[in-house]
């Protein structure tokens, strides 16, 4: 979900070459950029990464802007991070309470999880 949040945020920017700072408690998302993992995954055609559909979507929108990633510790009192967490929990609980069934992710392949991809 952290990756999808970044994607949706970047997709909401309607102009090119925006300077964007992303603060996230997801070391996976932050390290994908800061440690060069995304470039390796792209070179290998996203064949060994979990959620390749999301990473490909991310790569397209990421390349339109100047994005810096900053890791912050989760549940450590960072006001904006705490607010995002409470909104995500409330949204999930609200969907469950309302009986909302989310559509399946068309890029999800259950075998990827079994294979560790």
Question: pLDDT (tens digit, 9 = 90+) per residue, 24-64?
Answer: 888 999 999 999 999 999 999 998 888 899 999 999 999 99
CA distance 85 to 87: 5
**pLDDT(73) > 70:** yes
pLDDT tops 90 at residue 93: no
pTM of the model: 0.73
- Dihedral Cα 31, 25, 14, 20, nearest 10 deg: -70
13 contacts: CB under 8 Å, gap ≥ 6: 20, 64, 65
Domains of the chain, each with CATH number or no CATH: 2-88+105-115 (3.30.420.10)
* DSSP secondary structure letter of residue 108: -
């Amino acid at each position: 979900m952290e990756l999808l949040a970044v994607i949706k945020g970047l997709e909401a920017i309607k102009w090119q070459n925006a300077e964007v700072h992303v603060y996230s408690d997801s070391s996976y998302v932050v390290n994908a950029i800061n440690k060069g993992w995304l470039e390796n995954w792209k070179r290998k055609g996203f064949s060994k990464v979990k959620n390749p559909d999301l990473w490909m979507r991310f790569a397209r929108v990421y390349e339109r802007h100047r994005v810096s990633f900053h890791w912050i510790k989760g549940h450590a009192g960072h006001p904006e991070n705490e607010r995002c967490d409470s909104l995500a929990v409330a949204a999930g609980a609200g969907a469950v309470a309302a009986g909302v069934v989310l559509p399946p992710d068309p890029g999800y392949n259950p075998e990827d999880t079994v294979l560790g991809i």
